[in-house]
Amino acid sequence: MKQKTQVADIDRSLYDFRYDEDASDLLASGITPEIIREISEEKGDPEWMRQFRLHSLEIFAKTEMPPWGPPIDGLNLDNIVAYIRPKSRMNTDWNNVPENIKETFERLGIPQAERESLAGVGAQYDSELVYHNVRKEVAESGVVYTDLESAMHDPRFAEMIQTHFMKLVPPTDHKFAALHGAVWSGGSFVYVPAGVRLEIPLQSYFRLNAKGAGQFEHTLIIVEDDAYLHFIEGCSAPKYYEAGLHAGCVELYVGKRATLRYSTIENWSKNMYNLNTKRAVVAEGGRIEWVSGSFGSHVSYLYPMSILNGRGAHAEFTGITFAGAGQNLDTGAKIVHNAPETSSHIDTKSISKSGGISTFRSAVTVAEQAVGSRSSVSCESLMLDSISRSDTVPVMDIRTDQADIGHEAKIGRISDDAVFYLMSRGLDEQSARAMIVSGFADNVSKELPLEYAMEMNNLIRLEMTGSAG
């Protein structure tokens, strides 16, 4: 009677299977000019990209580790394998994908999701995309969805990529942006022409299989004026003894009156360092909508940034972070109001359990010229026990008095009264707690595509009950 909820580590068998890679596929570990040249050679980079990589490496060498956030001493960059040679060329026919890779994605439900509800799918395995496909009618509308490497060699997009690649997130941004610039591989390029509204989402799935490897995919999306796109990314990796590193980069360009919705559910294994940078720039009357679920990784630094450059541009960020045992997740959002009458809304929930640490960090900047702008930030944290931690670090820099800014933060625990109330109706304690936590996360799951919302609820349920689902 009155026993405490037993919570075990999440059953990760769904994600934890893995296949061995051949030693010959791995480049030597560590980050050196030789390795960078080798990657560049291997990928057949144009000259400007080779220069860009080497230049980024110089910046990387000179830049200090980030001075904020959770410790990352456990990450030994000399041991990280930056590039894993692909076993297979990029395919557009699922049947041609090698068997074990195919099985990996099938177990994760990827091709099935494509058949059911997606306009296009990309799947990255370690360093390279192994599969990419877009529905015929989508391709006919002029939408381009391919891997960044192919696009870079396509005369129609080569220049576009050169003028946009790492312009929003320059290698000088921070140490891991520089690293990304040097060793990036794989990722997606999406181009939605003006006026095209893609009603069904595109999805890419990133899977890091190799041990002690890094994944450095680059996602570049350009949504032209009056267009609409919903892009979904999912990430997972099996757990190895050695720590892995994910330092991806996402750059999003949203045109006038265009809308881009960017949904992520991240479930890296719990020894990954997830040092990811995401940024969007939004033109007049455009909208960026981020939906973000962070469940995995050992340490995360993730603060998607929205730069509202045109009058009336709007940014919305809805996120949930769940930090369990051994996890230190530093997540949040940044908004820059650079033009008049821009608006933003940040709504986040974080849950910490079994000693997990969850920190919410937000930065809202309203420039002098951004008169008549509005911003509201709301963050709610739930701590499930007394050994877990939750912190809130909201920063605001407002340079005009003609702006409407609101902030609300709540940190709490599951109330015993609520648990008792539900138990008095016949729910056992674990179910009662799981229902309260699911309810807490409800406004985020509502924003997610259905299968992701279900995955999220399953993750919460598993985390709460420790039972295999």
Partner 1 sequence: MELLRIDRLAAGIEEKELLHGVSLTVGSGETHILMGPNGAGKSTIGLTLMGSPEYHVTGGKIFFEGEDITEESADRRAKRGIFLSFQNPVEIPGLSLSDFLRNAMEQLSGQRMKLWDFKKQLRAAMDVLQMDPAYADRDLNVGFSGGEKKKAEILQLLMLKPKLAILDETDSGLDVDAVRTVSAGIAAYREQCGGSLLIITHNTKILESLTVDRTHIIADGRITAEGGAELIDEINRSGFEKYTERAI
**Site residues, partner 1 (CB under 8 A):** 1-2, 415-418, 420-429, 431-432, 435-436, 438-443
- Pick the closer one to partner 1 by CB: 225 or 429: 429
What is the closest distance, in whole angstroms, from the C-beta atom of residue 432 to partner 1 in the complex?
8
- Distance (Å, rounded) from C-alpha 215 to C-alpha 87? 16
- Distance (Å, rounded) from C-alpha 160 to C-alpha 154? 10
The amino acid occupying position 16 is D
Q: Give burial (CB, 10 Å; 0-12/13-18/19+) of 241.
A: exposed
What is the closest distance, in whole angstroms, from the C-beta atom of residue 444 to partner 1 in the complex?
10
What is the closest distance, in whole angstroms, from the C-beta atom of residue 380 to partner 1 in the complex?
9
The pair of three-digit structure tokens given for residue 461, joined into one six-digit string: 């349920």
**DSSP-based helix, strand, coil % in the chain, nearest 5:** 25, 35, 40
- Pick the closer one to partner 1 by CB: 24 or 424: 424
- Pick the closer one to partner 1 by CB: 275 or 422: 422
- Pick the closer one to partner 1 by CB: 117 or 430: 430
What is the closest distance, in whole angstroms, from the C-beta atom of residue 361 to partner 1 in the complex?
24
Cβ pair 283, 310 in contact under 8 A: yes
The pair of three-digit structure tokens given for residue 320, joined into one six-digit string: 């949930």
What is the closest distance, in whole angstroms, from the C-beta atom of residue 423 to partner 1 in the complex?
4
- Pick the closer one to partner 1 by CB: 32 or 457: 457
Residue 15, H or E segment: helix 13-16
- Pick the closer one to partner 1 by CB: 154 or 442: 442
What is the closest distance, in whole angstroms, from the C-beta atom of residue 461 to partner 1 in the complex?
12
Beta-strand runs (E) in 70-211: 120-125, 128-134, 144-147, 188-192, 202-207
- Pick the closer one to partner 1 by CB: 88 or 438: 438
What is the closest distance, in whole angstroms, from the C-beta atom of residue 445 to partner 1 in the complex?
9
Beta-strand runs (E) in 295-372: 299-302, 305-308, 314-323, 328-337, 343-352, 357-366
Half-sphere exposure of 376 (CA within 13 A, CB side): 5
What is the closest distance, in whole angstroms, from the C-beta atom of residue 414 to partner 1 in the complex?
10
- Pick the closer one to partner 1 by CB: 370 or 382: 382
What is the closest distance, in whole angstroms, from the C-beta atom of residue 424 to partner 1 in the complex?
5
The pair of three-digit structure tokens given for residue 123, joined into one six-digit string: 């799947």
List 264's β-bridge partners, or say none: 233, 292
- Distance (Å, rounded) from C-alpha 114 to C-alpha 134? 9
Alpha carbon 416 to its chain's center: 34
- Pick the closer one to partner 1 by CB: 402 or 458: 458
